[in-house]
Structure 1
């Protein structure tokens, strides 16, 4: 049985990875996170010596990096910590993976692009992050390329799963208010951690290394997505469609959000037969599970 180290196991994706791999007898999961817990080993991925020492003890077949600093607004004034977690952390894991001959799965984001696109971004498009979060995640990607021999970098977007996320926030607001205001001019693809975990599981069994985009199929905007959430959940809350400018006048944000975040899973389609579910089907399945 091959051992797989999962970093950030308490996060949405980390939990989904555990659920996805649970039934695969080929793998034994070694869960790590910042804090110790039941069946969880504390691991600070920003400390290269600790990472290498731990990896040598475990001798993993693969490392799946689900750890990240994702509070995009806080990072605008917390730059050093952002680089430590989002850039140095992946670098350290890449160094350890290479030393042990292990595969590395690294999860990145649509924020590595400037968000001004007019067609779905493919893996070969020019990057150009505009936020600290995007810049540090791109630096993490570059370190993985530089130090890992066998890696899969997967850029995803609009992720939701078992934990704090946009879907649960909207459902919570619907219990308190008769109407909510949601931006209509930011485009992307809602993606469930369940679907992303399936993709990671698929890649683990291959030698199909490189950078991939991994989102559910189709696209929408935040306001229409909210309406679909409410429709499926049987909520009568009205959704007011507002522009980003209108929203920011009442709700200032430190970090700019990309107006266009639609990713095309081009590498998956070019190099494999793996397909993500349509976002409509994925959100329906998710709500059936949590409601």
Structure 2
């Protein structure tokens, strides 16, 4: 009896599975789908949701070539088939073919976008296939004529034989030259109008872009209605960041909806549709007593914003394919601390800036670059700290750097304490004293963060004079 094994084919992702079959005088038994054993050998954990059977009364029944937007695991429960596949996906392998005879000892994993067909070689053949999505009426998908000359499938029973039975629909399928290849699943950027959303667009060109006015991710109904089957990667750049307003009665509700409820909804659909979900976290999930925060530090948020962000992290971590990018002191294309300091410097203002909070700046370009790296490199899923590199600084020190870059004296920025700054603010969120995040984990994946002061100099140079 052969051992369970998997062979690759000329069609990327199309895998032939050799199944051990236990037989005696009564018949045979096999483990047709065994998740743990098969995924250990490299079969994708594709999450089947439906099992279909096709009964073929007579030898010569021929079906296909059909291309669907889901993965399949095909086998036979009785009889034998000659099965053939054609790569119908956009790319260099479009039109590649592969064929094999399937009996009880063979199964084949068919990835999304690969055209599937077979010919029954025995009367009473039962063809079985697991799929990882439910069929729905409406969309049409690429199909190919069984007799296409380019594919040149070597059917064991000639298609013009009296034995062969083909449906009129399959006879009308187009030749390969007339087929529109299937596009890959898409990327969705949520919160596309924000600072990070705009940065992500540069690193993920062609992504679908939505904001809360198009997709309210805090609404379960809106999330459930979205066509998630069209996507493979979701980048959640939407967040509520008004940390002080979050301490108000109304702000608290909005903050929790955006930073905790919405990520929970996204985690749920990511699990259901096997999506990769990227979510952005915050240094505010920690109380700041440690001078350097590692990814596995216990949550200890001080205020409503940090509490909601921690809850969102917990929710996102429940979906298998997730990246949580924990960051701090974000600067991008929009209103931010550096722009404010540059404007004050240009206008001759000499501000007082807090000098008892310490951390590193994170430019949205760096956060987006890290996202691209994690996705493309196939880094292990989980939480990664992402900031620019360099020594931790206080807000006052960063303000002085900006003033110097704008031609002002560093001494023009005075120091103040967090307590003094917040004394007259009715609703004030407590800040972590130390916000610097350890970068060792993401550096181990091959990503080297750019120095914060170097990028600050480049960024300030792009700001127009006030």
User: Which of the numbers 225, 237, 256 marks the counterpart of 1:66?
Assistant: 237
Unaligned runs of 5+ in 1: 23-27, 36-41
Distance 1:204 1:235 in 2: 42
Offset of 1:274 from its aligned partner? 0.4
Structure 1 pair 76/249, CA: closer, same or farther in 2 (3 Å)?
A: closer
Alignment partner, residue 284 of structure 1: 457
Q: Confirm or deny that 1:232 pairs with 2:402.
A: no
TM-score, length-scaled by structure 1: 0.90
Q: Where does 1:209-288 land on structure 2 (aligned, <5 Å)?
A: 209-218=381-390, 219-236=392-409, 238-249=412-423, 253-270=427-444, 272-288=445-461
Distance 2:322 2:363 in 1: 22
Aligned CA-pair RMSD = 1.6
Aligned pairs, how many? 276
Alignment partner, residue 47 of structure 1: 219
Alignment partner, residue 100 of structure 1: 273
Q: Cα deviations across residues 189-230 of structure 1 (Å, max 9, x unaligned)?
A: 011000110000111121420011101112111001011111
Alignment partner, residue 33 of structure 2: none
Alignment partner, residue 121 of structure 1: 293
TM-score, length-scaled by structure 2: 0.57
Q: State whether residues 422 and 428 of structure 2, in contact with CA within 8 Å, keep that contact through their aligned partners in structure 1.
A: no
User: Which of the numbers 338, 347, 368 marks the counterpart of 1:167?
Assistant: 338
Distance 1:181 1:150 in 2: 44
Alignment partner, residue 112 of structure 1: 285
Distance 2:427 2:321 in 1: 38
Q: Where does 1:125-136 land on structure 2 (aligned, <5 Å)?
A: 125-136=297-308
Structure 1 pair 222/125, CA: closer, same or farther in 2 (3 Å)?
A: same
Q: State whether residues 178 and 236 of structure 1, in contact with CA within 8 Å, keep that contact through their aligned partners in structure 2.
A: no
Q: Which runs of 4+ in 1 moved over 6 A?
A: none
Alignment partner, residue 88 of structure 1: 261
Q: Which has the higher helix share?
A: 1
Unaligned runs of 5+ in 2: 1-183
Distance 2:222 2:270 in 1: 13
Q: State whether residues 247 and 427 of structure 2, in contact with CA within 8 Å, keep that contact through their aligned partners in structure 1.
A: no
Q: Tell me which structure has the larger Cα radius of gyration.
A: 2
SS in structure 2 opposite 1:225? Answer: helix
Q: Which has the higher strand share?
A: 2
Offset of 1:49 from its aligned partner? 2.7
Distance 2:342 2:424 in 1: 21
Q: State whether residues 116 and 258 of structure 1, in contact with CA within 8 Å, keep that contact through their aligned partners in structure 2.
A: yes
Q: Confirm or deny that 1:33 pairs with 2:211.
A: yes
Structure 1 pair 142/101, CA: closer, same or farther in 2 (3 Å)?
A: same
Between stretches 281-290 and 149-158, larger displacement belongs to: 281-290
Offset of 1:17 from its aligned partner? 0.3
